Structure 1
Amino acid sequence: MTEVTSLAGRLLVAAPALADPNFDRSVVLMLDHDEQGALGVVLNRPTPVDVADVLAPWAALAGEPGVVFQGGPVALDAALALAVAPGAGPLGWRRVRGAIGLVDLDAPPEVMAAELGSLRIFAGYAGWGPGQLEQELEENAWYVVDAEPGDVCVPEPGGLWRSVLRRQRGNLAMLATYPDDPSLN
């Protein structure tokens, strides 16, 4: 079996030609990735559900917009939370990469509030079985780029796909101008 280089903490940016509607123009932060498969959350799929309606104690810490995001098509009844934390981060926060980490939603938010920056709640996640993500990467369905802490809680999630591409170098930056519907050109 080929050794897998972990993409945890990196972004998958959907190629314009990616046909799966679950991932159209999506930006996925990878949380785990190894020989057993991969798991991440879509950063730019806000839902109309307010965080206060489902996880009221965390609502005050949620970044704008203060809604739950659809993290992916798997386990939509499960909640995950990401937050940016400078330094070591509080107890109940697990580093993914740099200042970005997962928050234990069973921890008391009032204890964590002083040490957490931006927080985002996700319903569900994106998951890949063994070798599945690697196959999609070989098919050029995704671009792998570095994440920045601001990506987790960008206030205008609808523009994240373009802004992540725009900050890349070379031809990848040009894709930021790719039209929503190329047939209209």
Structure 2
Amino acid sequence: MAESLRGKLLIAAPNLFDYFRRSVVLVVEHTEQGAFGVVLNRRAGSEVAELVPDLGPLVERGAPLWLGGPVGPDSVVVLGEFEHAGRSAGVVTEKIGVVDPDGDTEVLRARVFIGHAGWGAGQLDEELERDSWIVGDLDPDDVFAEGDLWAEVVSRRGGDYALLATMPEDPTRN
């Protein structure tokens, strides 16, 4: 592991055709033992209040629930924006952290995810060597984006990446 990718985005490369196709993952933790992240751009199809009503006060009424990844589908991860994330349960970046629903009172906005993405020791590094992921910088608004986040973060990289952002979701229908 060269350096920790905590707080970085993993943007699915166009050649990634599995669960993570066109996914944008925020790396929450990355150590020698492995990595933990949350897919930012997959809606679960239900509302927070329906499946985890205790977390309703953290989000706006009618807020959708998001699929954080295929690991631990019964687990819940709440990401939030703070004035200073050092006051959160788990710092990801200067302003983004993992929310402790029972203790974090200074959350500016939050998003609730079920499940997460996980990698064992060295697994993420291998995927990066195979060019399965493009590493990008996080804008705090990415955590709360509603549109085509994959296209947005790819185009933000500029150059040849901007062309990739215009690629249709299903290239066979081009």
Q: Give the TM-score taking structure 1 as reference length.
A: 0.86
Shift of 1:61: 2.8
For residues 19 and 88 of structure 1, the distance between their equivalents in structure 2, rounded to whole angstroms, comes to: 34
- Indicate if the aligned counterparts of 1:4 and 1:34 stay in contact, CA closer than 8 A: no
Q: Choose from 173, 177, 180 the match for 2:166.
A: 177
Amino acid of the structure 1 residue aligned with 2:16 = L
Deviations 1:10-47 (A, max 9, x none): 00000111021x10100000001111111100000111
Q: Secondary structure at the match of 1:23?
A: coil
| Corresponding residue of 2:30 | 33
Change over 3 Å in CA distance of 1:49–1:184 after alignment to 2:
closer
Shift of 1:116: 1.3
For residues 23 and 118 of structure 1, the distance between their equivalents in structure 2, rounded to whole angstroms, comes to: 26
1:83 matched to 2:80: yes
Structure 1: state its 5+ residue gaps: none
| Corresponding residue of 1:11 | 9
| Corresponding residue of 1:101 | 97
- Indicate if the aligned counterparts of 2:84 and 2:94 stay in contact, CA closer than 8 A: no
- Indicate if the aligned counterparts of 2:26 and 2:39 stay in contact, CA closer than 8 A: yes
Q: How does 1:57-72 map to 2 (within 5 A)?
A: 57-62=54-59, 66-72=63-69
Shift of 1:64: 8.4
For residues 117 and 10 of structure 1, the distance between their equivalents in structure 2, rounded to whole angstroms, comes to: 21
Amino acid of the structure 2 residue aligned with 1:119 = A
- Indicate if the aligned counterparts of 2:58 and 2:110 stay in contact, CA closer than 8 A: yes
- Indicate if the aligned counterparts of 1:14 and 1:27 stay in contact, CA closer than 8 A: yes
Give the number of equivalent residue pairs.
174
- Indicate if the aligned counterparts of 2:36 and 2:118 stay in contact, CA closer than 8 A: yes
Amino acid of the structure 2 residue aligned with 1:66 = A
Matched-pair identity in %: 44
Shift of 1:89: 5.6
Q: How does 1:153-168 map to 2 (within 5 A)?
A: 153-156=144-147, 159-168=148-157
Shift of 1:167: 1.2
For residues 84 and 44 of structure 2, the distance between their equivalents in structure 1, rounded to whole angstroms, comes to: 31
